[in-house]
């Protein structure tokens, strides 16, 4: 095993997989869990305010984005991942944003489609 690292060894470097670090990570998982539960309640509470549609959509998506980021960063370990994973995700985001933006742009002012 001179030219390779196992993931466990590797994990000790990038995910903090030794016992001290994993205990610290578990504490973070619990904090994230509580935050996600609280933000879910916030999401539902906002919907009961009956805000104007645009404001309601903005707020709901903002809270969902915070929740999604917590899941991705801590549960999916994206906060300390390898460069290749970030590259894959960057390309995905580059495709995903136009995919979502296209219907909005084409519909909002008829710029491309009349």
The residue ranges that bind another protein (CB under 8 A) are 1, 3-8, 10-11, 17, 19, 22, 25-26, 29-30, 32-33, 36-37, 40, 43-44, 46-47, 53, 56-57, 60-61, 63-64, 67-68, 71-72, 74-76, 82-85, 88-89, 91-92, 95-96, 99-100, 102-104, 107-108
Contact 34, 102 (CB under 8 A): no
Q: Of 31, 15, 1, which is closest to residue 77 (Cα–Cα)? A: 15
Distance between CA atoms of residues 14 and 8, nearest Å: 10
Cα→Cα distances 41→10, 63, 72, 77, 113, Å: 38, 10, 20, 25, 40
To another protein, the closest distance from the beta carbon of 15 in angstroms equals: 8
Minimum separation from the CB atom of position 34 to another protein (A):
10
Q: How far is the CB of 111 from another protein (least distance, A)?
A: 14
């Amino acid at each position: 095993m001179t030219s390779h690292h196992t993931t466990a060894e590797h994990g000790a470097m990038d995910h903090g997989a030794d016992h001290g670090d994993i205990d610290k990570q578990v504490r973070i998982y619990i904090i994230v869990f509580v935050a996600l539960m609280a933000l879910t309640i916030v999401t539902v509470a906002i919907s009961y305010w009956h805000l104007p549609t645009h404001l309601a959509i903005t707020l709901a998506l903002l809270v969902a984005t915070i929740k999604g980021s917590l899941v991705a960063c801590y549960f999916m370990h994206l906060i300390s991942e390898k460069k290749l994973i970030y590259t894959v995700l960057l390309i995905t985001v580059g495709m995903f944003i136009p995919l979502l933006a296209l219907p909005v742009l084409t519909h909002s002012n008829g710029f491309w489609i009349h």
